[in-house]
Structure 1
């Protein structure tokens, strides 16, 4: 019973009813002046012409959003309403397909509104006539459904027309809302544009997440390793060097954090320059201060590497060294960076230990593969001949 009565406790049920009444206001005014059947045909024809006007889609969309959707549910579900606002657009028609759907909407609203309005008037009259005839009186004129005879049991039928009216109000409201979602909803081109915009937002969020993971994760790893080593060493000179490394790494991480937060605060603000492979010495020194024995070999001109490739290569190297410090500790690390044949090759190898995750696991390794794939390159991570290997190839063009 509660479920049956629930629609009548919602304001949207009555605003939908009002929306259907509004569809026939101006035809009804004509009918008061001249009661002719052709007025409905003329109204349908004029609505068809109005639906071809691009701005009509905006007007109908705004009205449908205001009267057909449950704004209380919209606020509780972060924009997803009762078959909601998100399915009804309020923009002008661009294509003939949009105009055609607007015409269909106007005609459907006229037909459904006329039917609901007629039943809204006639069903209460039928209830009244049933009661009048049950009492032995003669019903008045104006009812489409005549009640013949005088029977006391007609009084038992009086709730039926009102129950039918309630079902008509709820059902017609649901139907007109579904039609609005179909006929006033986004076209395929609009859905594609919205999907592309959403994809761009997700890509940007993923990029920012990778930046924070790589830069802040590296800084925290270095700080933890350096602090642990300084405490274990008990050497003031070593402690001073460790604190210096922690300070330098933390300062660089703060710069990265401020840059990313600046992009988040101002969506239109271009991102400031990010570190590139030409600044890789900072990473290597940080790893060496943490106890890793880093051997690096560079072949080819790093200055000639395009900016996007050099920046992503820096982040890949940073994540690789962070993984070594986090999972293997102070172990020998071999770094090879080569620029040749329109390809940047980056390889980081270290002795395989039990603490390093298996191939394919970990958000850092996934981030390395994603960075390589975005640039059209490829990345391999995993055990290789007793070592843990990160091998990345990025095209320069």
Structure 2
């Protein structure tokens, strides 16, 4: 890259060569969601002071800034340099230059995780049931267990009747208790598609003996099919892995290319100032608060896969995950590895001194600047829901056209 500016071709080369790069979109989230490069991360100009230290832990990481003609770049570059970041450039010509050379622009947020989920379903033919099929099973009192893999607050807002909250990476750890009868069919749902695809395929990959199906299109599909939702539910799945879950999860991680390390290797990674290192504790928030390894930020495993662009905006960085039960870290790492991340799982470390305290949470942006997800809340127009599903179904083809993703599916 040149000293003062980066071209779209420079960025594409860095992505293809898996060099570290933080491509930051300085617009508000609502504008970011209208279109951005696949691996761009949103860091609104007004939030740099709040977010930079946490999301960009290495001060000399290559950073490229862009907007879409709003004039945000110069002030943001000055601000980042004042914070100690020494390798900050602008994207020459901004987003319009990216479009002009014919590179793909992706809509929505968490776009590349969603595109990856669609690729998983296409490659593995992840089995699913329609909303009408699931509603018929509920009406017939069939031997089913519906596991909702969204965050608990999303579940409590609205859920499929009779479902239980088992967020993301908790599935393999809790499915044995949620469905102790191997003849029980497990139905995994989220709000749309991605988390239910990843959750369903996680249980299949880990060798759960039960039949597992995704609820196709999640609560969006359920709503569009005119079925009712429950509100205010508080049913949580208890810990109870099925036989062999821990060993199976580790095998899945190894097959994906995940490396297990100890404290000695972690120290070596931390001492390497030429690479960005993210450290995440993927357990639930209460476990984290009661005791966690120093320097590890809380990010529940399922949400980390969904929101990896928010958690780790430096594409090409290293990631280390910790989990005192290992299952959640192994399953989370297996997906991040398939998304092209250089990822490790830390073995042990919990037998020594631990830090205590709640997770660090960034202040939420002004609601006026936030992108309203078509899959959240209870007052979303049906046309917006359907348009969102149509967009998701087109992501595999858009990945093909873009050509920078480097994803693979085991």
Identify whether the pair has TM-score above 0.5, normalized to the shorter chain: no
Given the two structures, how large is their TM-score scaled by the length of structure 2?
0.20
Higher RCO (CA < 8 A, seq sep 6+): 2
Given the two structures, how large is their TM-score scaled by the length of structure 1?
0.21
Higher helix share: 1
